[in-house]
Structure 1
Amino acid sequence: MKRKLLSWISAVIGFAILGAGIYTYQVYASVSETLSKVSQPLKRDALSKQSEDMKQGAPISILLMGADPREGERGRSDSLMLVTLNRTKQSMKIVSIPRDTYTEIVGRGVKDKINHAYAFGGVDATVATVEKFLNVPVQYYIEVNMEGFQDIVNAVGGVDVNNDMDFKLAGIHFAKGPIHLNGEEALVYSRMRKLDPRGDFGRQMRQRQVIQSVIKNGKNTEILSSYEAILGAIQKNVKTNLTQDEMFKIQQNYKETRNNIEEIEVKGEGKMMGDTWYYFVPDEVRQELSKKLREQLELPVQ
C-alpha cells in the first residue's frame, strides 16, 4: 500500500523545497546546515556546468524520487516524477512515470521495470534510465524517504482540499466538500482507490490536490514559524544534488512556474508477461511525450 503513495510523496516534499518561503536572512544558518547534510551529488556532477545554465535562467529538469529503503538492502524507487521548469514560459510540467514501466535499464543491458534501476545502481542508474526512456536530460534529483510525508504536511500546517465524494477509510471519515487534513489524514485521503469508481484517476486527482495545497501553504509568510520542523523533516528524509545556491536560484528565478502547472499522464497498458506484471508504453506515446518535454526544455526536437 505504501508503494502506491510514493508516486506523489516525493513531489510533496520536493515542492516544499521549491516553494516554501523560508529562505530569509534570519534562518539562513539553519538552512545552510540542513542543505549541507542532504547533499549527495551524482557521480557525473563534477563534470557538469548546469549551475551556469540556472544562473542564466535556462529551463531545468528535476527528477523527484520516492525511495522505499529496506533493512539490509537499497530498496527501490517506487515513485518517479520528472519536473521541468521553464522560466520564460513561466510553466512547470510534471510527468509521473508508472513504477512498473517496462524499459531498458541503463548499465544492465536488460529491460525491466523502471523502478528496478534504483536497486541495480541507485540514484545514478535511475537518472540515466529515466533520461533514456524520455530522451531528455535530467539535471537534478530529489530523493525522498516515505517517512518524510506526514512530517512535511504537518510542518506546513496541514492541507486544504475539496473532496468530491464522501468516503471512510482507516477509521477516518472524509466528508464531501472542503476539508482540512493533517499529515496522517492526507496520507489516507490520497491512498484511497478501490472505493472510487474512477480508480487510479480519482486517486491521482486527490494526490494533486494535496500537492497543490502544500505548494500554496509553503508560500505563506506564516510558514516561517514552522521552518525548524520543515528543515528537520527535510534533513531526515531527503537527499539531493541541488546545492544551496541552486536551491536559492530556483526560489528566486523559477518561483512563477508553480502558477502554471501541467500534470502529464504517461499512457500505456498494464499486463502480465510471464509471471510478472508490467506497464507497457507504446513508442509513439513515448516519442510524443519526449517531444513535449524537449520543447519545454528548449531543446531540439528529435
Structure 2
Amino acid sequence: MRSENKKNRKWLKVTGIVLLVLIIGAGAYAFTVYKSLKNAVTTMHEPIDRKQSDKRQEPVSFKDKNPFTVLMLGVDERPGDRGRSDTMIVLAVNPNNKSVKMLSIPRDTRTEIVGKGKDDKINHAYAFGGVPMSMDTVENFLDIPIDYYMKVNMEGFKDIVDAVGGITVQNNLDFTQDKIHFAKGEINLNGTEALAFTRMRKQDPNGDFGRQGRQRQIIQGVIKEGASVSSLANFSDIFTALGKNVKTNLSFDDLIDIQKNYKDAGSNIQQMEIKETGTKIDKIYYGLVSAEEKQRVQSELKAQLEIQ
C-alpha cells in the first residue's frame, strides 16, 4: 500500500478552484485523474493579447522558481453582457519564502483605468476592456507586474463548491442574504449558500471589507476540500465545474511546473487589505486610497515579489 501511494503521488492531486488550488496540488492518484485534469485545463486555457509588462525585465520562469502574480477576477456574466469584476484578488506567490500574499481590492476603489484615459471604479476596467484592461489597471494601481489571470464565473462558482462536497467557514456575523440565514460560528455551506455568503455587504458594518473576508474564506475552504483525499471520488465533477467556469492564460505545462516548484507556498497564505475612505463624487460612491496607504501596500507586495 505504501509503495502504491508513493507511486500515485507522482501525478497531480485532485484540487478545487482558482490558481491556489492548482498550486497546492501535490501528486496525483491515477492516470484517469491526470487525464481529466489535463482536459479541464485545456478547456480553461484562454490566452490574451497583452504585451510584456514594463515592470518586469524578464518573463517569469517557473523552472527557476521566480516569484509571480495572478489576478483573480470574480465575474457575474450574463448572456449579452460582459459584466463587471465584483471580486478582484491579487496573489503574489513566492516559493523562496514559501508564502502567498492574497490582496483583495475593493470594487469601488477609484483609480486610473488604463486604456480608457479617466479615473473610475477599478471594477469598471473589466466592463470597458475585459481581462487585459483589468490586468493593466491593477498593475498600474499597485505598481507591480501582473503576470497571469484567473477568471471565475461567479454564477457557476456554486457548482465548484458542490463538486468538492461543500465547505466549512467561520462566520462572525449573524445575517440573512437571498432568503438564507447564516448563524454565527462554524457553518457548513453548499454551493448556493456559499454564493449568497460572499455577496452580502450592506448588512456588514465593515462593508466591502467584510465581504472580501468572506470571499477569501470561501476560496480557502474550496482549496482545503478540493485538496483532500475525500474529493478523489468527485474528481470528474470537480474538473467539469472548473472547465465550465474558469478561464486562465496559464497552460497545463505551466501548472505542472507550478505544482513541482511552488507547492510549499500554498501552505502559508497571508491575507492583505487596503484601507480606503468612502466618498461621493458627482453623486457616485468611490473608495479613495491615500498615497501613504498605497505606498504601504505596494512596498509589501514588492518585497514579496523580490522587486527592488
2:305 corresponds to 1:297? yes
Q: Which residue of 2 aligns with 1:7?
A: none
| Farther off after superposition, 83-92 or 37-46 | 37-46
State the 1:98 CA deviation.
Answer: 1.3
State the 1:166 CA deviation.
Answer: 4.4
Relative to structure 1, the CA distance from residue 20 to residue 206 in structure 2 (aligned partners, 3 Å threshold; closer, same or farther) is same
Relative to structure 1, the CA distance from residue 203 to residue 98 in structure 2 (aligned partners, 3 Å threshold; closer, same or farther) is closer
Relative to structure 1, the CA distance from residue 116 to residue 178 in structure 2 (aligned partners, 3 Å threshold; closer, same or farther) is closer
Distance in 2 separating the partners of 1:166 and 1:110: 39
Please give the root-mean-square deviation of Cα atoms over the aligned residues, in Å: 2.5
Distance in 2 separating the partners of 1:234 and 1:12: 7
State the 1:176 CA deviation.
Answer: 3.6
State the 1:264 CA deviation.
Answer: 1.0
2:96 corresponds to 1:88? yes
Q: Which residue of 2 aligns with 1:246?
A: 254
**What SS does the aligned partner of 1:125 have?**
helix
State the 1:217 CA deviation.
Answer: 1.2
2:56 corresponds to 1:50? no
Relative to structure 1, the CA distance from residue 26 to residue 71 in structure 2 (aligned partners, 3 Å threshold; closer, same or farther) is closer
State the 1:94 CA deviation.
Answer: 0.8
Distance in 2 separating the partners of 1:243 and 1:81: 20
2:25 corresponds to 1:16? no
Q: Which residue of 2 aligns with 1:38?
A: 44
Q: Which residue of 1 aligns with 2:5?
A: none
| Farther off after superposition, 72-81 or 117-126 | 72-81
Q: How many residues align?
A: 289
State the 1:72 CA deviation.
Answer: 2.5
State the 1:207 CA deviation.
Answer: 3.1
The residue type equivalent to 2:107 in the other structure is: R
Distance in 1 separating the partners of 2:211 and 2:83: 24
**What SS does the aligned partner of 1:55 have?**
coil
Distance in 1 separating the partners of 2:236 and 2:145: 34
- Identify the match of residue 216 of structure 1 among 191, 201, 224: 224
Relative to structure 1, the CA distance from residue 234 to residue 133 in structure 2 (aligned partners, 3 Å threshold; closer, same or farther) is same
Distance in 2 separating the partners of 1:214 and 1:146: 14
Q: Which residue of 1 aligns with 2:6?
A: none
Distance in 2 separating the partners of 1:115 and 1:239: 18
State the 1:187 CA deviation.
Answer: 2.2
The residue type equivalent to 1:62 in the other structure is: V
Relative to structure 1, the CA distance from residue 274 to residue 235 in structure 2 (aligned partners, 3 Å threshold; closer, same or farther) is same
Relative to structure 1, the CA distance from residue 198 to residue 279 in structure 2 (aligned partners, 3 Å threshold; closer, same or farther) is closer
Cα deviation, 1:171-216, whole Å, max 9, x if unaligned, reads 4443443322211122233334444445444444433332222221
Q: Which residue of 1 aligns with 2:285?
A: 277
- Is residue 17–residue 242 contact of structure 2 (8 Å, CA) maintained in 1? no
- TM-score using structure 1 length: 0.86
Distance in 1 separating the partners of 2:300 and 2:52: 29
The residue type equivalent to 2:97 in the other structure is: K
Q: Which residue of 2 aligns with 1:28?
A: 34
Distance in 2 separating the partners of 1:103 and 1:194: 23
Superposition pairs of residues 1-302 of structure 1, within 5 angstroms? 13-20=18-25, 23-24=28-29, 25-44=31-50, 50=59, 53-300=61-308
- Is residue 167–residue 189 contact of structure 2 (8 Å, CA) maintained in 1? yes
State the 1:22 CA deviation.
Answer: 7.8
The residue type equivalent to 1:41 in the other structure is: P
State the 1:146 CA deviation.
Answer: 1.4
Distance in 2 separating the partners of 1:172 and 1:201: 21
| Farther off after superposition, 207-216 or 146-155 | 207-216
**What SS does the aligned partner of 2:76 have?**
strand
Distance in 2 separating the partners of 1:108 and 1:50: 26
Distance in 2 separating the partners of 1:173 and 1:272: 32
State the 1:284 CA deviation.
Answer: 1.7
The residue type equivalent to 1:233 in the other structure is: A
| Farther off after superposition, 70-79 or 119-128 | 70-79
**What SS does the aligned partner of 1:234 have?**
helix
Unaligned runs of 5+ in 2: 1-15
- Is residue 20–residue 215 contact of structure 1 (8 Å, CA) maintained in 2? no
Relative to structure 1, the CA distance from residue 284 to residue 207 in structure 2 (aligned partners, 3 Å threshold; closer, same or farther) is same
Relative to structure 1, the CA distance from residue 75 to residue 172 in structure 2 (aligned partners, 3 Å threshold; closer, same or farther) is closer
**What SS does the aligned partner of 2:265 have?**
helix
| Farther off after superposition, 239-248 or 209-218 | 209-218
State the 1:79 CA deviation.
Answer: 1.8
Relative to structure 1, the CA distance from residue 141 to residue 204 in structure 2 (aligned partners, 3 Å threshold; closer, same or farther) is closer
